[in-house]
Amino acid sequence: MTDTLPVTERSRLRRLHERGHFDRDTINAILDAQPMCHVGYVMEGRPYVTPTLQWREGNHVYWHGSSASRALRAQKEAEVCLTVSILDGFVLARSGMHHSLNTRSVMLFGTAFKVEDPEEKLTKLGNFVNHLYPGRYETLRPDHAQDLKATTVMGMEVSEGAAKLRAGGPKDEDEDYALPIWAGEIPVRMVVGEPIPDPRNLEGVEMPDHVRDFRYL
């Protein structure tokens, strides 16, 4: 496994090449920071994009859903495009043309596979829970056989794709800097609220550390 993904015809940036990154460290950091993704695929000759949650294990990304899902059945052994995006800010320039966004994103291409082995699937689902809430899976009741039967886990190797990043202020045309127009950045960040206990929690059950200390991005 190389430290950099190959630049292919569908992964290369056609414009603003300086925003493209193909190194695994940058790509992995974005995948690990944002669990929400969108998976694009073709079903019955028509394009679809499905939002879901993803998690990374080494050189693979995984996502899951209902075993009854037509979308997941269509993705098995098919070409898919998985994207992850993080909005970091709005960029206001001195012309409409140069307004922009500060973002971090990844677009991956590959063939999706279904995790078939029951033990491997169980391990992947445990890793998924612990990726979001470290140590939580071991505190839960064991998965029933029906839980596993009702759940499909899909995966894809991280072998083709790119990250795209933009940061900083506006990039106006030289003559526009003389105009009396405010320009700059409006930062954006996700805020985690206070946990809300389930009213049916048993008396005396305390909030675990992985909930109290939960951090996002």
Residue with structure tokens 């979001």?
A: 132
**140-159, pLDDT tens digit by residue?**
999 999 999 999 999 999 99
pLDDT band, residue 215 (cuts 50/70/90) = confident
User: Which SS3 state, helix, strand or coil, does residue 154 take?
Assistant: strand
pTM for this prediction: 0.92
Span 134-142, average pLDDT: 95
pLDDT band, residue 195 (cuts 50/70/90) = very high
**178-194, pLDDT tens digit by residue?**
999 999 999 999 899 99
Pick from 149, 79, 142: which is nearest to 116 by CA? 149
Position 1 scores a pLDDT of 64
Neighbours of 133 (CB within 10 A): 15
**65-75, pLDDT tens digit by residue?**
999 999 999 99
Position 88 scores a pLDDT of 97
Position 175 scores a pLDDT of 97
Pick from 60, 45, 52, 124: which is nearest to 83 by CA? 52
- Say whether pLDDT at 85 is over 70: yes
